[in-house]
């Protein structure tokens, strides 16, 4: 398969990619060189998602292919509220922004290619399920192209990080010190499965009001006791 053919396939798949179903496109494009896939999102208590997704490619590779900094094109990711160019000096591409995106719009609803990510409510808890299948069969017979593909795949940087409102109850990813964020470092050439269950968390504003009311009540009781002791001590 030619490089041009691979790019056409990537663009075609991009048109039906939603949420991080774009992982499949990145996996296919990995054969051309280094890839950067970096998702960092937060699940809000109102069942919306905010954060960013960076999809970028090695600038030298894009130059050799005669491509630009946005190989996926517009409309490749569902649920984003805006997007902007990304360039860190080595990788160039697009940074997609989620701003209070409802879970129903963030979730992958077209997982025919096997790659998807979903965050749903199960009672009070949040349940995350996802698959990022980055396995790839070289098109040739072990020649220079296949060798280049094999060398490029391990250099891909693919990470998914999700912060939940409450503590993470179970996951196959890495949990942060505060217990609310799960990170998966995806491996090229493998079928990566993402699983996590997290609690809903509390209401910090309500908790603060409860704390202040409790402190005020304690202070009032203390003052009443002091006042009563003063009255007793002042009796003749």
74-98 pLDDT, tens digit per residue, is 667 888 999 999 999 888 889 999 9
Dihedrals φ, ψ of 56, to 5°?
A: -140, 160
Dihedrals φ, ψ of 151, to 5°?
A: -75, -30
* Residues 134 and 192 sit within 8 Å (Cβ to Cβ): yes
Residue 201 pLDDT level (bands cut at 50, 70, 90): confident
Rg (CA), the chain: 25
pTM confidence score: 0.70
**Measured between alpha carbons, how far apart are the two ends of the chain, in Å?**
106
* Residues 116 and 131 sit within 8 Å (Cβ to Cβ): yes
Residue 22 pLDDT level (bands cut at 50, 70, 90): low
* Residues 73 and 65 sit within 8 Å (Cβ to Cβ): no
Give residue-wise pLDDT tens across range 104-131: 999 976 555 578 899 999 999 999 999 9
């Amino acid at each position: 398969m030619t490089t041009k053919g691979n790019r056409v396939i990537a663009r075609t798949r991009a048109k039906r990619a939603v949420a991080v179903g774009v992982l499949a496109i990145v996996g296919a494009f990995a054969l051309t060189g280094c890839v950067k896939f970096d998702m960092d999102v937060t699940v809000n208590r109102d069942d919306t998602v905010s954060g960013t997704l960076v999809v970028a490619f090695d600038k030298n590779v894009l130059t050799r292919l005669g491509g630009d900094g946005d190989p996926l094109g517009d409309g490749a990711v569902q649920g984003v509220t805006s997007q902007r160019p990304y360039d860190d000096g080595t990788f160039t591409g697009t940074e997609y922004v989620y701003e209070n995106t409802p879970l129903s719009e963030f979730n992958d609803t077209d997982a025919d290619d096997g790659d998807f990510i979903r965050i749903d409510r199960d009672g009070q808890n949040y349940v995350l399920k996802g698959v990022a299948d980055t396995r790839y069969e070289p098109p040739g017979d072990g020649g220079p192209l296949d060798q280049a593909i094999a060398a490029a795949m391990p250099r891909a940087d693919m990470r998914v990080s999700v912060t939940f409102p409450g503590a993470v109850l179970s996951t196959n990813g890495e949990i942060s010190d505060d217990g609310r964020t799960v990170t998966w470092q995806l491996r090229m050439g493998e079928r990566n499965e993402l699983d996590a269950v997290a609690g809903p968390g509390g209401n910090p504003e309500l908790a603060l009001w409860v704390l202040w009311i409790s402190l005020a009540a304690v202070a009032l009781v203390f003052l009443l006791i002091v006042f009563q002791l003063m009255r007793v001590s002042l009796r003749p």
